[in-house]
Amino acid sequence: MLNNNLYSVWSNSTTLNNNNLKIKNFTLNFGPQHPASHGVLRLVLQLNGELIERADPHIGFLHRGTEKLIENRNYIQSLPYLDRMDYISMMSQEHGFVLAIEELLNTTSYTSTYVQIRVIFDELTRMLNHFLGIATHSLDIGSMSPAFWAFEERERIMEFYERVSGARMHAAFYRPNDIDWSGINYQFFIDLTLFLRDSFKSITEIFVLLSTNKIWKLRLVNIGTLSYEDAIKFNASGVVLRSVGYKKDLRLIKNNSYSFYWYLKFNSYLGKRGDSYDRFLIRIREMYESINIIFQIINNLILNLNQQNFNLNINLFLLYKFLFLQDFNKINKTTKHNSMEQLINHFKHYSQGLDIPAGVVYSAVESPKGEFGVTLISDGSSTPYRCKFKSPAYTHLSIVPKLIQGHMFADMITLLGSQDIVFGEIDR
pLDDT tens-digit map of 116-127? 999 999 999 999
Residue 13 lies in a domain: no
Residue 257 DSSP SS3:
coil
Residue 195 lies in a domain: yes
Segment 98-105 shows an average pLDDT of: 94
Tell me how many domains the chain contains. 1
Question: Does residue 34 surpass a pLDDT of 70?
Answer: yes
Residue 61 lies in a domain: no
> Which residue stretches of 212-329 are H helix?
214-220, 228-233, 238-242, 276-306, 316-327
Question: Does residue 25 surpass a pLDDT of 70?
Answer: yes
Task: Indicate the pLDDT class of residue 343, thresholds 50, 70 and 90.
Answer: confident
Segment 373-377 shows an average pLDDT of: 94
Residue 324: predicted pLDDT = 60
Question: Does residue 333 surpass a pLDDT of 70?
Answer: no
**Nearest in space to 396 (alpha carbons), one of 250, 225, 278, 241:** 241
Residue 229: CA count within 13 A, CB half-sphere: 1
Taking the model in full, what pTM does it have? 0.87
Q: How far lies 257's CA from each of 93, 99, 203, in Å?
A: 16, 12, 28
Question: Does residue 305 surpass a pLDDT of 60?
Answer: no
Residue 264 Ramachandran class (φ > 0 left, ψ -120 to 50 alpha, else beta): beta
Q: Are 366 and 249 in contact (CB under 8 A)?
A: yes
Task: Indicate the pLDDT class of residue 15, thresholds 50, 70 and 90.
Answer: very low
Please give the residue range of the domain that contains residue 194: 66-426
- Report the 10 Å Cβ neighbour count for 321: 16
Phi then psi for residue 27, to 5 deg, are -100, 145
Segment 378-384 shows an average pLDDT of: 91
**pLDDT tens across 158-201, in order?**
999 999 888 888 988 998 888 887 788 777 888 898 899 889 99
DSSP per-residue string spanning 209-238: HHHT-HHHHHHHTTSS---HHHHHHTT--H
Residue 378: predicted pLDDT = 93
Residue 1 lies in a domain: no
What's 51's DSSP letter?
E
CA distance 164 to 201: 25
Residue 49: predicted pLDDT = 83
Average pLDDT over all residues of the chain? 85
Residue 2: predicted pLDDT = 45
Residue 28: predicted pLDDT = 86
The CATH number for 257's domain is: 1.10.645.10
Residue 39 lies in a domain: no
Residue 388: predicted pLDDT = 94
Task: Indicate the pLDDT class of residue 6, thresholds 50, 70 and 90.
Answer: very low
Residue 112: predicted pLDDT = 86
Residue 28 lies in a domain: no
Residue 17 lies in a domain: no
Residue 8 lies in a domain: no
Residue positions counted in the chain: 428
Of 30-39, 54-63, 290-299, which gets the smallest average pLDDT? 30-39
